[in-house]
Amino acid sequence: MKNFIFKKVLKDSKKVFINTRFAPEPSGYLHIGHLKCFLINYKISKIFKGNFHVRIDDSNPELCKEKFEKRIFFNLKFFKKNIVFKKSSDFFFLIYNYVKKLINFNKAYCDSQKKEKFFLRRGNYKNYGKRSPFIFRKKKETMYILKKMKNGNFKLGEHVIRIKTFMKSKNMILRDNVIYRIKRNKKKNYIFPTYDISNSIIDRIQRISHSICTKEFEENSVIYYFYVFLYNKIYNSYFFPRQIEFSRLEIEGENLKKRYIMKIIKEKKIKYNSFLLYTLDGLINKGYDKKTLMEFVEKTGFTKKRCKINKLFLKKIFIRNNKDLKKIFLIKIPFKIFLKNKIYIENKIKNFKKKKINFIKKKKKIILYFTKGLKIKKFYYYFDKKLKINSKVIFLNIGIFKLFSISLKYNKFICIETFKNAKNKPSSV
């Protein structure tokens, strides 16, 4: 396992004890892209004889749900059994003490602007941001508001705690980033830290040496290091976790974004463990074992360049690892289709290869011209969808048939009858 991540960690291993972590948010189901991030963090900690931490990031109570947490526990224990789970909420009191010290050192303030003015003053990528009118608020007043926010005495969005950074920065995250905001939890409003501060400070408290994540968090790395720098300055210590980014896993014809998967589950009413999805539950339900999924994730590689992987690569690994398994073709709700009459047609059309079919439209009917030597006595084909009149049926290696009459037999059996003319003309179906 030699890649650019391994080389960076190898250099740092001489100076620092290696600790890694995996911090999923329980706002959805884990997919195969999460498995890639989980395994790289786990393997690097084991190679360098360090510690591996799994931390559930529950800093946003509006999105986090217990059912997602349970599925995360189940999925990760399926791959590695000896894992200890912790939550970000276990460290919230330490973050609260840290924010209080930031206010005392005049590094943070309470902003009471409305949402519209907040975003207007923040600016955009073309225009610089402007300082909030509440930036010169006194320390005692901000501490008093912070305590009330903690007790749940304010409405949603009434106050936020922001850090003093650079409003003229090109990076939007550095423009007085929000530390604390009011969120609703169990019929009351409480304060919750944002992802940026909770992620960086908990990593610093747990002494995580390397935070290995996807390139989505590349912009957040600046504020990540800034919070750690202030923590070290306030507590007179020196320890910097290092963030390493790699390109996210992409599979041809599949969208592996968590939001997209959750949207499909809600709209189309597909279950989270459906074999149509690339969630870990879906892949396990499809029949993929632990060994093949882990091997697939490793062989896709870890680079910073964007690349898409073919779906067949996963199937090839599965077939190679399971050569002894019997291969069975199965469809849940099959329709048995067969051609009733014998077909044997000799065509006089020249320049035709064997078993080649030519399709000609005539009077809104598709006529099939079979070449010399093609004989069909009985043909069985299993079709998963409901068939209707004037719908097309594809028979592998033969062609496309259009249905003009359907006769149902024995619940789910469909019979398509073919007729041969006396003058050996091609038959229409």
Span 161-172, pLDDT tens digits: 999 988 888 888
CA distances from 6 to 19, 210, 230 (A): 13, 11, 29
Query: Helix, strand or coil for residue 38?
Result: helix
Q: Which of 146, 170, 195 is the last residue of a domain?
A: 195
91 — pLDDT class (breaks 50, 70, 90): very high
Q: Chain-centre distance of CA 218, in angstroms?
A: 17
* Contacts (Cβ under 8 Å, ≥6 apart) of 167: 123, 128, 129, 130, 131, 175, 176
User: For residue 10, what are its two tokens?
Assistant: 């190898």
Question: Per the confidence metrics, is the pTM higher than 0.85?
Answer: no
Whether the per-residue pLDDT at 36 is higher than 80: the answer is yes
Is residue 44 included in any domain, yes or no? no
What DSSP letter does each residue of 261-311 carry, written as one string?
HHHHHHHS---TT-TTS-BHHHHHHHT--HHHHHHHHHHT---SS--EE-T
The 10 Å CB-count burial string (b at 16+, else e) for 337-346 is bebeeebebe
Q: Which of 195, 226, 244 is the last residue of a domain?
A: 195
Strand partners for 375: 344
Is residue 309 included in any domain, yes or no? no
Query: Helix, strand or coil for residue 45?
Result: helix
Q: Which H or E run contains 145?
A: helix 139-151
* Contacts (Cβ under 8 Å, ≥6 apart) of 198: 57, 59, 88, 91, 92, 95
Between these two residues, 176 and 429, which has the higher pLDDT value?
176
The pLDDT value recorded for residue 388 is: 56
Tally of CB atoms within 10 A around 139: 13
What DSSP letter does each residue of 327-385 carry, written as one string?
P----SS-EEEEE-S-EE-----SS--TT--EEEEETTEEEEEPPTT-EES--EEEE-S
Structural domain harbouring 109:
91-195
The pLDDT value recorded for residue 326 is: 61
Strand partners for 399: 395
When pLDDT is averaged across residues 274-302 and rounded to a whole number, the result is 88
Whether the per-residue pLDDT at 398 is higher than 70: the answer is no
Q: Is the dihedral of CA 290, 293, 298, 302 positive or negative?
A: negative
380 exposure class (CB count in 10 Å sphere: 0-12, 13-18, 19+): exposed
Is residue 175 included in any domain, yes or no? yes
Whether the per-residue pLDDT at 332 is higher than 80: the answer is no
Between these two residues, 316 and 354, which has the higher pLDDT value?
316
User: For residue 51, what are its two tokens?
Assistant: 């510690």
Percent of the chain with pLDDT over 70: 75
CB 72 within 8 A of CB 30: yes
At 341-366, the pLDDT tens digits run 333 333 333 333 433 333 333 333 33
Strand partners for 182: 191
Is residue 340 included in any domain, yes or no? yes
When pLDDT is averaged across residues 176-196 and rounded to a whole number, the result is 86
- The phi-psi region of residue 176 (left if phi > 0; otherwise alpha if psi is between -120 and 50; otherwise beta) is left
Tally of CB atoms within 10 A around 206: 16
Is residue 164 included in any domain, yes or no? yes
How many separate domains does the chain show? 2
Whether the per-residue pLDDT at 99 is higher than 90: the answer is yes
Is residue 385 included in any domain, yes or no? yes
CA distances from 167 to 123, 162, 175, 207 (A): 9, 12, 4, 30
Q: Which of 168, 195, 222 is the last residue of a domain?
A: 195
CB 349 within 8 A of CB 360: no
Alpha-carbon span 60 to 26, nearest angstrom: 9
Is residue 47 included in any domain, yes or no? no
CA distances from 251 to 4, 96, 306 (A): 22, 41, 11
Is residue 387 included in any domain, yes or no? yes
The pLDDT value recorded for residue 157 is: 85
CB 32 within 8 A of CB 280: yes
Alpha-carbon span 275 to 282, nearest angstrom: 5
Output phi, psi for 45, to 5 deg.
-65, -35
The pLDDT value recorded for residue 358 is: 39
When pLDDT is averaged across residues 9-15 and rounded to a whole number, the result is 89
CATH of the domain at 101: 3.90.800.10
Taking 3-state DSSP, the helix, strand and coil percentages for the chain, each rounded to the nearest 5, stand at 35, 20, 45
Alpha-carbon span 172 to 162, nearest angstrom: 14
